[in-house]
């Protein structure tokens, strides 16, 4: 039995809370849902293995040597994973400082805040490692099966990199506390997390587009020019790649270094934890900022009033800012492709169509959740003397206008090159946005706006159908642009997805 207040005691407390939280999110209090989730999860996991096998098995079956080009490819792919790890770690570490829940209780007790910090950052490292291992495991497992058991080292190297990501995230958070203070650290860390998570992927994609006219991020890693410019295969720069590939002489120092960095970071940053957590608590989530005095009390219809309120809240929501930023970042590569290929024929644009359609769906889904479910004054709006269908219509209009404003410039640019393709993209983007919005209407459940991050676990059926609808409309858009009759088939599948979502939903209005 661990002594109260000890490291082990705190770890057990955290583990119990996390387990119950996870269980509640997954099951929603129903055992059947957990069984469904487990079966579905295994099916998807198996499918990912099949996809990985189809792509990796043929080259893996040949002897993979640690030559320079392989090391570049492994390092590049590893950096992609690391950017996701760092993004997740940055967000989680910020939460260690800002999430209130039991922090007030613990900080007001005589328990050691250093131990609490150690346990919570350790938990972040563990969850980051598990998530990234889970994401990479189909690739690693296929490599183990086809290229040899030495790839098992990857399962030790990945957690080590997760530890490094957490240490880096701690340093970045501390840097932000020093630079901008506790009031702005949370917001900037969220934006940074979004940029780190998507930025690296987008960045190398952008380089690939600008330099190689290719949409694939992997074209950069296999470029002879890049490989020639990089150090030789014996360089210590490739130690992490060698470690992942199962070279024990590289893996042991890499793992040791990463763990040492995390330990040093924990020792270095833990003394200030209590002080900074208290400083973060005194800030509150939004602070008592002043708003620019505008023109109030003008004659408008209730629908105008509702739309304006939605837009004003979206504009002032830093949470949403970081989420929207992610969506916008994914639009950068298609924009670049448009710019690079402007006036040189429309062949390359087919790649853009599904990205724009997907982005429209995802953006509309997020915004619709905020407008419909994340209505903080739900009772107020519901007791207003306006028919509920008019309220719903005004909110949907507010969402779709934002999506249209974001996509319009790209569609206009596309139309200058090929108006039929722009028309197909516009049509499918509208259908994708409308589908995502409809799903949010059917699955709306009043929640606090601040719960935006949890919207995806609030209803798995809504999340999955929203994603499937966006993907099928994206496929329809691409096929329609190519003039393929199969577009009709994917459109039918998309409508089918909507039908299933509607039948599963609690609101069928």
Partner 1 sequence: MSAPALAIENLDKSFDRPVVHGLNLTVASGEFYALLGPNGAGKTTILRMVAGLLAPDAGKIEIFGTDVLKDPVGAKRLLAWVSDEPMVYDRLTPLEYLDFVAGLWQVDPDHARDTANDLLALLGLAPHANELCGGFSKGMLQKVALAGALIHDPRLIILDEPLTGLDAGSARQVKDVLLEKVRQGVTIIMTTHILEVAERMAQRIGVIAGGRLIAEGTLAELRARVGRESTLEEIFLELVETGQADA
- Residue (275 or 312) nearer to partner 1, CB: 312
Quick check: 293 binds partner 1 (CB under 8 A)? yes
User: What is the C-alpha to C-alpha distance for residues 421 and 137, in angstroms, rounded to an integer?
Assistant: 38
Range 448-477, binding partner 1 (CB under 8 A): 449
Quick check: 376 binds partner 1 (CB under 8 A)? yes
Quick check: 389 binds partner 1 (CB under 8 A)? no
Kindly indicate which of the ranges 34-42, 233-241, 294-302, 422-430 contains the residues binding partner 1, using the contact rule CB under 8 A. Answer: 294-302
Tell me the residue length of the chain.
509
Catalogue the long-range contacts made by 272-280 (C-beta closer than 8 Å, 24 or more residues apart).
272/174, 273/97, 273/113, 273/114, 273/116, 273/117, 274/107, 274/113, 276/97, 276/177, 276/182, 277/97, 277/103, 277/107, 277/113, 278/107, 279/177, 279/182, 280/97, 280/98, 280/182, 280/185, 280/186
- Residue (242 or 395) nearer to partner 1, CB: 395
Catalogue the long-range contacts made by 478-484 (C-beta closer than 8 Å, 24 or more residues apart).
478/350, 478/353, 478/354, 478/357, 480/353, 480/424, 480/427, 480/428, 481/349, 481/350, 481/353, 481/420, 481/421, 481/424, 481/425, 482/350
Quick check: 508 binds partner 1 (CB under 8 A)? no
Quick check: 384 binds partner 1 (CB under 8 A)? yes
242: left (phi over 0), alpha (psi -120 to 50) or beta: alpha
Quick check: 344 binds partner 1 (CB under 8 A)? no
- Residue (36 or 318) nearer to partner 1, CB: 318
Of 345, 385, 485, 509, which lies in the binding site for partner 1, with binding defined by CB under 8 A? Answer: 385
User: What is the C-alpha to C-alpha distance for residues 174 and 272, in angstroms, rounded to an integer?
Assistant: 9
Of 209, 244, 245, 306, which lies in the binding site for partner 1, with binding defined by CB under 8 A? Answer: 306
Q: Please state, in angstroms and as integers, the Cα–Cα distance from residue 27 to each residue in 13, 42, 460, 506, following that order.
A: 21, 16, 10, 17
- Residue (16 or 30) nearer to partner 1, CB: 30
**Backbone Cα Rg of the chain:** 25
Range 316-335, binding partner 1 (CB under 8 A): 316-317
- Residue (62 or 299) nearer to partner 1, CB: 299
Closest CB 481 distance from partner 1, rounded Å = 40
- Residue (18 or 286) nearer to partner 1, CB: 286
Closest CB 415 distance from partner 1, rounded Å = 36
**C-beta of residue 238 within 8 angstroms of C-beta of residue 71:** yes
Closest CB 386 distance from partner 1, rounded Å = 6
Closest CB 394 distance from partner 1, rounded Å = 10
The position carrying tokens 């009043």 is 446
Sign of CA dihedral 367, 372, 373, 376: positive
Which residues, at least 6 apart from 374, have a Cβ–Cβ distance to it below 8 Å? Answer: 447, 448, 449, 451, 452, 455
Kindly indicate which of the ranges 8-16, 70-78, 269-277, 298-306 contains the residues binding partner 1, using the contact rule CB under 8 A. Answer: 298-306
Of 464, 492, 490, residue with least CA distance to 477: 490
Quick check: 379 binds partner 1 (CB under 8 A)? yes
Of 20, 33, 275, 312, which lies in the binding site for partner 1, with binding defined by CB under 8 A? Answer: 312
- Residue (62 or 389) nearer to partner 1, CB: 389
Quick check: 304 binds partner 1 (CB under 8 A)? yes
- Residue (146 or 378) nearer to partner 1, CB: 378
- Residue (31 or 290) nearer to partner 1, CB: 290
Quick check: 286 binds partner 1 (CB under 8 A)? yes
Closest CB 49 distance from partner 1, rounded Å = 44
Of 313, 332, 482, 493, which lies in the binding site for partner 1, with binding defined by CB under 8 A? Answer: 313
Of 428, 439, 431, residue with least CA distance to 366: 439
Closest CB 187 distance from partner 1, rounded Å = 13
Q: Which residues of 116-127 are buried (b: 16+ CB within 10 A; e: fewer)?
A: bbbbbbbbbbbb
User: What is the C-alpha to C-alpha distance for residues 421 and 411, in angstroms, rounded to an integer?
Assistant: 9
Q: Hey, what's the torsion of the CAs at 420, 425, 428, 430, to 10 degrees?
A: -110
Quick check: 386 binds partner 1 (CB under 8 A)? yes
Quick check: 296 binds partner 1 (CB under 8 A)? yes
Of 107, 305, 348, 493, which lies in the binding site for partner 1, with binding defined by CB under 8 A? Answer: 305
Closest CB 319 distance from partner 1, rounded Å = 10
Query: Can you give the binding site for partner 1, defined by CB under 8 A?
Result: 284-291, 293-294, 296-300, 302, 304-306, 309, 312-313, 316-317, 376-387, 449
């Amino acid at each position: 039995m661990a002594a109260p207040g000890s490291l082990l005691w705190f770890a057990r407390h955290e583990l119990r809370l996390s387990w119950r939280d996870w269980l509640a999110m997954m099951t929603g209090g129903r055992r059947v849902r957990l069984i469904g989730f487990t079966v579905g999860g295994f099916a998807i996991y198996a499918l990912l293995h099949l996809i990985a096998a189809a792509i990796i098995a043929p080259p893996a079956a040949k002897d993979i040597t640690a030559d320079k080009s392989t090391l570049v490819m492994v390092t590049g792919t590893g950096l992609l994973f690391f950017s996701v790890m760092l993004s997740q770690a940055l967000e989680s570490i910020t939460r260690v400082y800002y999430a209130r829940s039991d922090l007030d209780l613990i900080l007001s007790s005589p328990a050691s805040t250093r131990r609490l910090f150690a346990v919570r950052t350790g938990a972040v490292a563990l969850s980051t490692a598990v998530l990234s291992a889970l994401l990479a495991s189909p690739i690693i497992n296929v490599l183990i099966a086809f290229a040899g058991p030495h790839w098992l080292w990857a399962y030790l190297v990945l957690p080590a990199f997760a530890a490094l990501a957490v240490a880096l995230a701690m340093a970045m958070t501390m840097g932000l506390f020093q630079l901008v203070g506790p009031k702005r650290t949370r917001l900037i860390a969220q934006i940074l997390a979004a940029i780190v998570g998507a930025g690296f992927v987008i960045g190398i994609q952008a380089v690939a587009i600008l330099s190689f006219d290719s949409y694939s991020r992997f074209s950069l890693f296999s470029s002879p020019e890049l490989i020639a410019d990089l150090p030789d295969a014996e360089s210590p720069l490739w130690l992490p790649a060698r470690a992942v590939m199962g070279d024990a002489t590289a893996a042991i120092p890499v793992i040791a270094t990463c763990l040492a960095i995390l330990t040093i970071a924990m020792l270095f940053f833990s003394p200030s934890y209590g002080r900074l957590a208290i400083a973060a608590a005194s800030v509150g989530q939004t602070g008592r900022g002043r708003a620019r005095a505008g023109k109030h009390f003008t004659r408008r219809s209730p629908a105008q009033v509702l739309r304006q309120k939605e837009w004003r809240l979206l504009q002032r929501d830093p949470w949403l800012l970081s989420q929207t930023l992610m969506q916008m970042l994914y639009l950068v590569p298609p924009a670049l492709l448009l710019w690079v290929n402007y006036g040189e024929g429309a062949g390359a644009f087919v790649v853009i169509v599904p990205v724009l359609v997907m982005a429209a769906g995802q953006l509309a889904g997020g915004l619709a959740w905020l407008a419909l479910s994340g209505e903080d004054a739900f009772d107020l709006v519901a007791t207003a003397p306006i028919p509920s269908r008019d309220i719903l219509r005004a909110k949907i209009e507010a969402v779709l206008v934002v999506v249209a404003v974001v996509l319009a410039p790209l569609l206009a640019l596309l139309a200058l090159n090929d108006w039929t393709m722009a028309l197909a993209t516009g049509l499918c983007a509208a259908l994708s946005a409308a589908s995502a919005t409809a799903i949010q209407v059917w699955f709306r459940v009043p929640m606090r706006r601040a719960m935006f991050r949890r919207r995806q676990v609030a209803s798995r059926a809504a999340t999955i159908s929203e994603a499937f609808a966006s993907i099928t409309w994206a496929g329809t858009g691409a096929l329609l642009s190519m003039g393929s009759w199969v577009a009709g088939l994917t459109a039918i599948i998309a409508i089918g997805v909507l039908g299933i979502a509607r039948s599963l939903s609690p609101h069928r209005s």
